């Protein structure tokens, strides 16, 4: 189980202006998560449909957020492209066009003690973990478990979810920070159900 004393924050990013009732309904569901036992804080943020990649963009923080999400996805062997897209738009004043980021209509990011642990939606190439499904789990006071894809070079020393150091118990890897657990094969990580960590006691020594 997850430590209930660990602070959980959900950041809900929405494209403005909103014109779809289902999107507004999901935003309200996200806002209401603070009424449950799991989520401590819900932050609502808006972003435009497109954002330039250059450093002079007035929405540079959106690009930085996308880069953070993209790095998280790479560590897990999944993708956030889509829902994010990168495009080059023609420009009459800039030769070669302008590179822009297209944002999703709705995106959830879950943080544990300010550490990014999941982004929704994301995909492993076959299955997409939707915002709707993540909200269902969060409303049940359960952390949604992200998908795990096939990473090129899995690191057996680092948790694929939070990057903390893993404990290797005869082939079963457990993270003492976020309590992720799984096994490692040539094709990548296989995540297991929650594992209770037993406290370790130093062996007695003779004085």
- Tens-place pLDDT, residues 72-91: 998 888 999 999 999 987 76
Domain carrying residue 159: 152-207
126 and 61 in a single domain? The answer is yes
Residue 197: name the closest of 169, 170, 171, 157 by CA: 169
173 and 138 in a single domain? The answer is no
108 and 187 in a single domain? The answer is no
Rounded to 5°, the CA angle 16-17-19 comes to 120
Distances (CA, A) of 165 to 4, 85, 152, 177, 179: 21, 32, 19, 8, 11
Please count the structural domains in the chain: 2
1 in a domain, yes or no? no
Mean pLDDT computed over every residue of the chain: 82
CA pair distance 108, 8, nearest whole angstrom: 13
**Domain end residue (candidates: 102, 127, 149):** 149
Helix (H, G, I), strand (E, B) or coil at 112: strand
- Report, in angstroms and rounded to the nearest whole number, the Rg of the chain calculated over CA atoms: 20
pLDDT in tens, 114-145: 889 999 999 998 899 999 999 999 999 999 98
pLDDT at 44 over 90: yes
Residue 109: name the closest of 140, 76, 134, 77 by CA: 134
Q: Quick one: CA dihedral 133, 161, 38, 29, positive or negative? A: negative
pLDDT at 154 over 60: no
The pTM of the full predicted model, rounded to 2 decimals, is 0.73
């Amino acid at each position: 189980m997850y430590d209930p004393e660990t602070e959980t924050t959900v950041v809900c990013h929405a494209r403005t202006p909103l014109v779809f009732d289902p999107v507004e309904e999901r935003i309200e569901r996200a806002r209401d998560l603070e009424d449950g036992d799991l989520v401590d804080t819900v932050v609502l943020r808006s972003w435009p449909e497109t954002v330039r990649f250059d450093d002079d963009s007035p929405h540079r923080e959106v690009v930085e957020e996308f880069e953070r999400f993209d790095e998280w996805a790479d560590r897990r062997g999944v993708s956030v492209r889509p829902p994010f897209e990168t495009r080059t738009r023609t420009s009459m004043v800039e030769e070669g066009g302008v590179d822009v980021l297209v944002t999703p209509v709705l995106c959830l990011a879950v943080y544990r003690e300010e550490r990014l642990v999941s982004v929704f939606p994301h995909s492993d190439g076959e299955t997409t973990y939707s915002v709707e499904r993540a909200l269902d789990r969060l409303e049940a006071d359960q952390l949604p478990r992200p998908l795990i894809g096939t990473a090129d070079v899995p690191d057996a020393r680092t948790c694929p979810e939070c990057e903390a150091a893993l404990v290797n118990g005869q082939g079963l890897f457990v993270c003492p920070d976020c309590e992720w657990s799984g096994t490692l094969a040539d094709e990548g990580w296989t995540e297991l159900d929650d594992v209770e960590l037993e406290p370790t006691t130093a062996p007695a020594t003779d004085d």
